[in-house]
Structure 1
């Protein structure tokens, strides 16, 4: 393995991790292309702000409708196969959209339906993918593994994908979506190279002390209740999910009107608004390069407190500034600490949750993430309409500061918590690793 390859995907993480990382990066290229092309396609068909906003909302909505079910199903089947099935469905859905565009029969209803269906398949793909990493690598390597997956998201989804999607859309409306089909199909093939993963055990031992040795019921509703109940009874995981929910409400409040804040308050124009997203992605990339050093030299508890403190200060800085250049600097810092926080919070949760509950507890977390975003965007829009474009930032500053104050002591307990079940991979080489 070359020095660059060892840096990107250390040999100790195993061959299966390299296939997983390659699949995730490839899939993110397709999603990044659609990130720019989908809104452009909708805007080319309608000038209604409600319909334009509905395109994004219909991709979030499936997490609230099906997120818990996706987690329960991921804990009942061979997860690798579920990821492949979800990728296959995504490819077919977008290919159908390409056919409508090529034949000139596409309309706004079809495009919105595709957004919802694609978002639904994405829920199952992302939920199942998140459960694979803890089955492949040692607990001590979860941090670096998550960092590499997040790096692919930043490069492919946030940096490379959107400009490519806009360029392809200018060439022809169907081209970005055809390339997206190819990217998702390639991800399916790459996931198929991963060694077959064991189906999670069907026993609820260790998840409910009162259950004894009674086998878990087969009803999906029971599985969902078991996952939600486990997350609620485990104080560190419960507290982490509450923190994420609260901070997503405060974060999404100003984020929902960011385009108006950038173009009207900061007077940066459309290009400047796009530059804010780019600055955030560049900050995340900078954090990617330093994450290994941070993980070795700074405790997770300290890093979590620093990241959340910076979140509070970021909101205050955005509320006060009227300078676009300053805003770009703030956004660069946001991208850096948001990457560190996302990697650490995911790693901490994965270390605490037994393998047979990874899907369900992970889906509870994602429902909290997207639930917070939906609530925050609704609140932020109302606040901005009543008190101006900087008011959501003041709301975010106060809400995040109060949340951090209430949860400050708990953060150390979350980072130091031990798994209930020690069923993570042993110290021998991860399954499927035959690399020399």
Structure 2
């Protein structure tokens, strides 16, 4: 694979990742399983409280709006505080939020407002947790094992968040509406306990000396712009952030109205909706172990072209052929592409961004990439309400076709290969 010989060897040899990484991996898997349960149960709960597609899509907006509001400050905090301990605190807080909603459902007092609030809290924690998680991996494994470690994390997160979790969430919701949220709360609690047992990570050198109270505000504002300036000057990562934003815009819209698409267009019941989520996850789980091999074979540049093409095909099928089994295949193909994107781009960021800037640059990247998620969910709700759920996927196909053209231009210019060679 062009520009990635060290990582290719690591992947092929499957190096030992160490007990610290394994404990972190287990915590991430448990937390991801809980997320998957709630991500399936929350739209189902919302659909019982309202039949307005815009309000149902509001659940996704509430979950992802913090990516825009708190993305940059979260990156500063990732670089300022011990990443492992702060991640544990985040999961303790999320445990409390989901436990509160569980109690409300048990008492027969669920409401859309409370559901939005709880998912806003979960999303706020996720804004920090995901950033800290990716920044933490390079301190747990050697650089040559980054792609292998990320592949393992991606496979586990997709297996739990999108396969095991959604199937369990839909099934548990049929048993009792409170049950999936109660299980989610417990997974956050166990994850927090596991993270608390890890030894503290070393502080980045840039923050060994705490700022004086008088200069704290000035230093915080400066740190918030540092990552954005670094990202803007890095042409490759700046372009990838824009492409990721486009992909997330259409993908979040697709997921935001999926429950309406499943019920109204495909005629599926609640369990069938969970099965669609599981089909997407199955693609992600199966693709994760093979994505590094695909990248080695065709190169990182062309791998991202394949990602965009997979999404174009998937969205065309969802738009033009709304049948349950074609929908399963479409989500499977899109998930394979999404995993390949993660395996390539996350390792790139971990390699190209200096460790002391990981949190701040990643937060700037996520502001662009993840900031598009609530916008996509809101837009999908409006389009679905006006033209029907299939129209959302037709719009997504058009957007991803433009992304594919941009990726082709980048591949011809060997933008990823050249950036890695320059960094080396």
TM-score, structure 1 length as denominator? 0.82
**Per the alignment, do residues 216 and 346 of structure 1 end up closer, same or farther by CA in structure 2, a change over 3 Å counting?**
farther
Distance 2:15 2:144 in 1: 14
What is the CA deviation profile of residues 362-393 of structure 1, one whole-angstrom value per residue up to 9, with x for unaligned ones? 22222223322233334444445555554443
**Is the Cα contact below 8 Å between 1:307 and 1:338 reproduced in 2?**
yes
Q: Give the secondary-structure state (helix, strand or coil) at the position aligned to 1:191.
A: helix
**Is the Cα contact below 8 Å between 2:166 and 2:277 reproduced in 1?**
no
Q: CA deviation at 1:279?
A: 1.5
Distance 1:119 1:15 in 2: 29
TM-score, structure 2 length as denominator? 0.84
Q: CA deviation at 1:50?
A: 5.0
Match of 1:357 in 2: 357
Q: CA deviation at 1:47?
A: 5.4
Distance 1:399 1:380 in 2: 13
Match of 1:112 in 2: 116
What is the CA deviation profile of residues 104-144 of structure 1, one whole-angstrom value per residue up to 9, with x for unaligned ones? 56554433322222322222222212211122222222111
Q: Does 1:73 align with 2:80?
A: no
Match of 2:348 in 1: 348
Distance 2:323 2:39 in 1: 27
Alignment of structure 1 residues 216-231 onto 2, 5 Å = 219-231=219-231
Match of 1:61 in 2: 65
Alignment of structure 1 residues 46-195 onto 2, 5 Å = 50-102=54-106, 107-195=111-199
Q: Give the secondary-structure state (helix, strand or coil) at the position aligned to 2:205.
A: coil
**Is the Cα contact below 8 Å between 1:280 and 1:335 reproduced in 2?**
yes
Q: CA deviation at 1:21?
A: 0.6
Superposition RMSD on alpha carbons, in Å? 3.1
Match of 2:212 in 1: none
**Is the Cα contact below 8 Å between 1:217 and 1:223 reproduced in 2?**
no
Match of 2:278 in 1: 278
Q: CA deviation at 1:399?
A: 2.4
Gaps of 5+ in 2: 1-10, 209-214
Match of 1:417 in 2: 419
Gaps of 5+ in 1: 1-6, 205-214, 423-436
Q: Which aligned segments of 4 or more residues in structure 1 are displaced greater than 6 angstroms?
A: 419-422
**Is the Cα contact below 8 Å between 2:54 and 2:385 reproduced in 1?**
no
Distance 2:307 2:388 in 1: 27
**Is the Cα contact below 8 Å between 1:169 and 1:176 reproduced in 2?**
yes
**Per the alignment, do residues 293 and 420 of structure 1 end up closer, same or farther by CA in structure 2, a change over 3 Å counting?**
closer
**Is the Cα contact below 8 Å between 1:75 and 1:360 reproduced in 2?**
yes
What is the CA deviation profile of residues 225-283 of structure 1, one whole-angstrom value per residue up to 9, with x for unaligned ones? 11111111111111110111122234445544444444444555655443332221111
**Per the alignment, do residues 416 and 133 of structure 1 end up closer, same or farther by CA in structure 2, a change over 3 Å counting?**
farther
Which of 14, 22, 26 is residue 18 of structure 1 equivalent to? 22
